[in-house]
Amino acid sequence: MNTENETTKNEPKTQAQLDLEEGLRFFKEKDMPQAANAFHNALRGFEEEKNDKGIANAADRLGDICCERGDFAAALTHFQRAFAIAATPGDELSMTYMKRKLARTHRGLKQYTEAMAIYADLLDVYRDFNNPGGAVQVFEEMAEMYLDMGERSKAADAYRTAANIHQSFKHSRHAETLLQKAAAAEKGSI
């Protein structure tokens, strides 16, 4: 989500925008209680303003706070709200960003079927946009999820697929690291 101030220089920032900026500062400083409070205030302000983009940004950040605390159920609620707003035509970048967060949150909840469906969708998106870097990240996250599930051979396959993408771009060091992870996954040493 784009958290930049979209007002012109002549327009003063609203209290909700100021609260969001304060929350971002607290989040960066790792002061999660203060960040959560500021993001909550921003969310309420954006709701009063009927500012969908602001609501999505604040909900997204509240989801991040919940993930930091390990409260994946609450995070999912916030991320789903942000995703619903981002799912408007023409905002594919925000949708992809939110899908990654949704997949990780489902994984945190051990809802592997839901996470895998989102990862499969993301792979299609990255293929359509010719984004091999995004695909590599998804394969690595899928490998980690397979490890969580105890499916070592599938984890190894995902690591090898990511390595193959790196090899096709002559990124031999990255490819070798992923191949080592694949071997370790198969041996059960990671």
**Tens of pLDDT along 138-190?**
999 999 999 999 999 999 999 999 999 999 999 999 999 999 999 999 999 99
Structure pTM? 0.88
**Tens of pLDDT along 38-88?**
999 999 999 999 999 999 999 999 999 999 999 999 999 999 999 999 888
pLDDT-based confidence at residue 1 (cuts at 50, 70, 90): low
pLDDT computed for residue 5 by the predictor: 46
pLDDT computed for residue 179 by the predictor: 97
Q: DSSP letters of the chain? A: ---S--S-TTSPPPHHHHHHHHHHHHHHTT-HHHHHHHHHHHHHHHHHHT-HHHHHHHHHHHHHHHHHHT-HHHHHHHHHHHHHHHTSTT-HHHHHHHHHHHHHHHHHTT-HHHHHHHHHHHHHHHHHTT-HHHHHHHHHHHHHHHHHHT-HHHHHHHHHHHHHHHHHTT-HHHHHHHHHHHHHHHHT--
**Tens of pLDDT along 93-109?**
889 999 999 999 999 99
pLDDT computed for residue 42 by the predictor: 98
pLDDT computed for residue 149 by the predictor: 97
Q: Is the pLDDT of residue 19 over 90?
A: yes
